[in-house]
Amino acid sequence: ELRIALSYDYGVNWSTWNVSHINGIQMYPFVSISDENIVTLAFYGLDFEDGDLDGDYVEGEEWYLYAGALNEPQEGDQWEFTIADTEPLHIVTAYEEANSDVHALHDFFETVISEDGSWIGIAYQQNIGEHPFEENEEQRYIKFVRGELTE
């Protein structure tokens, strides 16, 4: 479950609600907020219902980068997350399935909102391909993506 908590009065009052949108794993959420109260939320996600694989955390499942933004969100608002990079960030291996290892992607993650609030930039990690010298590890890449924010 992915939850957000917001306060617009410097922590005197808080609103919190579930913003999960996939049946799966949502890891390392990163929140940014602009001076105009645009709130962005990005995370690594693995959707158990996105394909024909038998089981939940199984070999072949794909991790993706999800992101969404709302202008001055209020309790209960629904976030419309989209896949921010259509290329999988990681594909679950047989080793990871056998060992319930869900930490292929690490917490290198950051989002920024442009000064005018028109776009979001995300720095994130991709682990694809065999690592040249680490057993049961993938080659790591740092990637950046920019997305336009719409009303």
What residue ranges do the domains of the chain occupy? 3-148
State whether residue 47 is helix, strand or coil.
Answer: strand
**Largest Cα–Cα distance in the chain?**
51
**Residue of 39 and 134 predicted with greater confidence:** 39
State pLDDT tens for residues 22-54. 889 999 999 999 999 999 999 999 998 877 777
Mean pLDDT value across residues 90-116: 86
Burial bucket for residue 65 (CB in 10 Å: 0-12, 13-18, 19+): buried
Residues 46, 23 contacting (CB under 8 angstroms) = no
d(CA 91, CA 27): 15
Amino acid code (one letter) for 28:
Y
* Average pLDDT taken over every residue of the chain: 89
- At residue 99, φ and ψ (nearest 5 deg) are -105, 10
The answer to whether the pTM exceeds 0.75 is: yes
